[in-house]
Homo-oligomer: A and B are copies of this chain.
Amino acid sequence: MLDMFFAPRAIAVVGAAREPGKLGYGVLSNLLQYGYKGQVYPINPKADEILGLKAYPTVLDVPGPIDLAVIVVPNKAVPDVMRQCGEKGVKGVVIITAGFKEAGLEGIKLERQVVAIAKEYGIRIVGPNCLGIIDTVQPMNVSFAAGQPPQGGIAFMSQSGALCTAILDWALANNIGFSYFVSLGNKADVDEVDLLEAWDGNPHARVMIAYVEGLRDGRRFMEVARRVTRRTPVIAVKSGNTEAGSRAVSSHTGSLAGSNRAYDAAFRQAGVLRAGSIQDLFDYAIAFAYQPLLRGNRIAVVTNAGGPAIMATDALESAGLKLAPLTKETIEALQGRLPPAANTYNPIDVLGDALADRYAFAIQKALEDPNVDGLLVILTPQVMTRIEETAREVGRLSRLYDKPVVGCFMGEEKVSAGIRILTEEGVPNYPFPERAAGAFKAMMDYRGWLDRPIPEVRQFTVNREAVQRTFTRVREEGRLTLGDAEARAVAEAYGLRVPKSRLAATAEEAVRYAEEIGYPVVMKIASPDILHKSDIGGIKVGVMGASDVRDAFDLLVYRATRYMPDAQIWGVQIQEMVTGAKETIIGMSRDPQFGPMIMFGLGGIYVEVLKDVTFRIAPVSEVEAREMINEIRSYHLLQGVRGERASDIDAIVDTIMRISQLVTDFPEIVELDVNPLLVREAGAGAVAVDMRLVLSS
């Protein structure tokens, strides 16, 4: 896919220039210098020949076919060039020229015009406002970058062109290999999703990495990434995490949600590893690009220094990895050969005077050990240390076992030759043990993703029509917020358990219903105009006996009218009181990028004060629902503390999935809070006591 960019037979450089220093010169000379094998046509009406090639005034003057045009003419001239490309049958363009969407209103109009022409002729666009594309596989360099990275397994895409220049400079210095290096610019057409699809299954893209500022279509990204990540690791940095102030939302879920939470959830559900910084992005990328996948979480460390080994241990364990417990055989073999002062348990300390052979012996024994899933080799440049020879041994041995090996050759000047050898041998090196541990954690997380069953979204048998009817009626009455009884009907239609409840119009009716339901009861003012009932004292719990019910009825009605004299009051809801249960909350808010996002947390202060909540993009599978419950800090409370019995986790999972189905079936639901969902002990179910539901206008 996207063959016009990754397998073009002929390329035109529109705006090719003769003067070094101009972009149009840089692009053409890169294309020639880095070995592109197809036809190249410089396009420039004022030149006959550029860099030894015949130049043409326009693409239409070129005799042969053209698959790809790289455009570096001034922004105002781009629409004409696009039209010519269309007439010529060009299939793809890379628009390097800036001055489009990023440059204000005029630029936005210009970009729209360019996109319209592209649609008309069926041309795909990379850019505008980008550095171009470097493809070391064909090879093909249609960029104005200063240099080309070596070939390698990393496929990189970036929304920021400036960042590309910095990454490239770093890659050149460190000999980091890339297969594809794409600057996406304004993403007028081709975006991250297109590249994920295009690279899927391509053996040159061993790992795909992205710098993302924002996605255009979050759900399509998830759908594609979820598939791609099953065979290729995808790592992304998402910048712009600081929330631009809280939005005007009335639900708890809405106030706790936000774009950063949504990206976190989406990346996680799609198996995309989220890196916290560009440094992390490449720390992880080189591990995946060079080394086999990690199969378990038990890491061995071989070191010539104690201090860094302690730091490695700290970092590995706090990242959730384990120091591999070496087998008796390994320990004995090490004891038989290493000096007596050496540590033959993990971390294996070969001591400061270790030459390459001692390192090699320990490394081999560690890699042979069935209890070891991955290996970290730490080296400090001491007097006796044979840095380059050791690096070669690490490289040689790393290829003999199907386990990831990473280096931590510490220092810089003296170790640089050793690090160069490691890189050539395909062993990633990290300057500090903590960063090596970070790479192992990324590998472990990816392993977790691969081992995880493919999430299946369960479809419950529900009464969708009943909900539709309720919504229609609510809208007909000119409302967007559902009343208690309506919300209850919706909940029941989707299989949620709700407390027994009846709406009493008079105090006497209230007494009758309370006696039907059984004491104690909960009483709530019933009014479509009052959202947060508890804030105005509109709820009484534990009401016992007829006389108290009468008193409560009058009190609630009085308070409601005092709070809002014009409120429409339907009466008082008489409700079964659920006792001996844990208060939880399940909510939904809509993210502009990813759509419905489900929240779960323990109710009350856990949500409001501790903000101990978790999110997933709907639809939520059973596996994901279970993960949500497991990952809140207060999860232990649901397992039962101080001799309590565990809560009914299955019932929560069920409720999350049903609500997920509800908000997926009805995109018109913009906010939803089930608060509280009272969860009884295991086996006894959960009851949706109150549900708030707001429809879109």
Contacts and interface: CB of A to CB of B under 8 A. Distances in A.
A383 B144 contact: yes
A233 to B, nearest CB: 21
Given A173-B412, A434-B277, A381 B304 contact: no
Interface in A279-324: 279, 304-308, 310-311, 313-315, 317-318
Contacts of A332: none
Given A380-B163, A432-B278, A415 B307 contact: no
A240 interface: yes
Given A165-B411, A166-B308, A169-B415, A314 B641 contact: no
Contact of A317 (B242, B380, B432, B609): B242
A242 B313 contact: yes
A431 interface: yes
Q: Quickly give the copy total for this chain.
A: 2
A342 B160 CA distance: 16
A636 interface: yes
Contact of A637 (B306, B308, B352, B609): B609
A211 B174 CA distance: 28
Given A169-B381, A276-B434, A307 B162 contact: yes
A159 interface: yes
Interface in A308-362: 308, 310-311, 313-315, 317-318, 341, 352
Contacts of A170: 410-413, 431
B310 A410 contact: no
Interface in A596-627: 605, 608-610
A379 to B, nearest CB: 9
A240 B310 contact: yes
A113 interface: no
A605 B635 CA distance: 11
Interface string A77-121: 000000000000000000000000011100000000000000000
A112 to B, nearest CB: 19
Contact of A413 (B169, B279, B313, B382): B169
A231 interface: no
Contacts of A641: 605, 608-609
A551 interface: no
Interface in A170-199: 170, 172-174
| Pairs of residues from A and B, 3 with the lowest C-beta to C-beta distance, nearest first | A160-B307, A162-B305, A169-B411
Given A166-B410, A240-B310, A277-B434, 20 more contacts: A21-B383, A26-B383, A160-B305, A162-B304, A162-B305, A162-B352, A162-B382, A165-B382, A166-B380, A166-B381, A166-B415, A169-B412, A239-B311, A242-B313, A277-B315, A278-B432, A535-B642, A608-B641, A608-B642, A610-B610
